[in-house]
Amino acid sequence: MDNLEQISCNKIFGGFQKVYSHDSSELKCKMNFSIYLPPQVEGGDAKLPVIFYLSGLTCTEQNFITKSGFQRYAAEHGIIVVGPDTSPRGVKVEGDDESWDFGVSAGFYLDATQEKWATNYRMASYVNKELYELILQAFSNVVDPKRFGIMGHSMGGHGALVSTLRNPGLYKSVSAFAPICNPTACPWGVKAFTGYLGEDKSKWVEWDATELVKKYDGPPLTLLIDQGAADTFYIQKQLLPENLVEACRSVGVPVILNLREGYDHSYYYISTYLNEHFEFHAKILKA
């Protein structure tokens, strides 16, 4: 805990919503992350499951904890929830703040290989190695190391899917709201992958859930995908969930796609169906 500084602490639904900062060795900067400790951590002998939540473009660790109301469901199910930021902060890479969908707040949960970005933009290793281990060590008295799940929204949904598929067994459960399912085939993904990974498209598929699932060889896994039918980005073919579903079915990986009529890309939509996602994760993590 020596590397952690508590930034805030608020009681909600009997538990505590906290935010910490720490010096990241992967990203070479100070990073914030949120952690919700449900009421079951107080005086409980059993260690609790954990869900990582990855936010989308333009977000910080604050969006999910202030807009979604997830704490109600985390408290009901006795699940710890961790939320990292979406990119390095304050590293001042030239051009990192020129657009909303690349650079700051848009790390895409990958490890950049292009020289300009490779030192700091290592969000995949940050989330799945550094922060994962930090949570295990700093909260070892309450965290069950064998029961981690992951979920995310939009860019974060892409991150949740890719993190699971690239690290078989690390996460027991995975779900996503309006994820970028096939980034090698959409404008957001092409822009990010060209910038972070270069022009070699053979490297892009290593960070594309639709391509990764075709060669998944790990523990049994069910993907839960939630998509608003009135989502502008869905209509504009930025998200492409049907491509992922087709890929899953081609190799026999179970997938659930819920298409929600009238719902958009916002936290109004996420908060409407969040309880279903917590029930999905709880059933797997508490089995």
Instruction: List active site positions.
Output: 154, 231, 265
Looking at the predicted structure, is the pLDDT value of residue 126 above 60?
A: yes
Q: Are 87 and 104 in contact (CB under 8 A)?
A: yes
Confidence of residue 49 (pLDDT cuts 50, 70, 90): very high
Of the candidates 120, 135, 138, the one whose C-alpha atom is nearest the C-alpha of residue 170 is: 135
Dihedral sign for Cα atoms in the order 125, 75, 18, 46:
negative
Q: How far apart are CA 186 and CA 156, in angstroms?
A: 16
Dihedral sign for Cα atoms in the order 178, 183, 189, 195:
positive
CB atoms within 10 A of CB 199: 9
Q: Are 213 and 253 in contact (CB under 8 A)?
A: yes
Instruction: Dump pLDDT digits (tens) for 74-119.
Output: 999 999 999 999 999 999 899 999 999 999 999 999 999 999 999 9
Give the model's pLDDT for residue 255.
98
Looking at the predicted structure, is the pLDDT value of residue 188 above 70?
A: yes
Q: How far apart are CA 238 and CA 231, in angstroms?
A: 10
Confidence of residue 26 (pLDDT cuts 50, 70, 90): very high
Confidence of residue 1 (pLDDT cuts 50, 70, 90): low
**Average pLDDT of 26-36?**
98
Q: Residue 78, by phi and psi: left (phi above 0), alpha (psi -120 to 50) or beta?
A: left
**Average pLDDT of 277-286?**
98
Q: Which residues contact 162 (CB under 8 A, 6 or more apart)?
A: 109, 110, 124, 207, 208, 209, 212
Q: What percent of the chain has pLDDT over 90?
A: 97
**Average pLDDT of 205-216?**
98
Q: Are 31 and 60 in contact (CB under 8 A)?
A: no
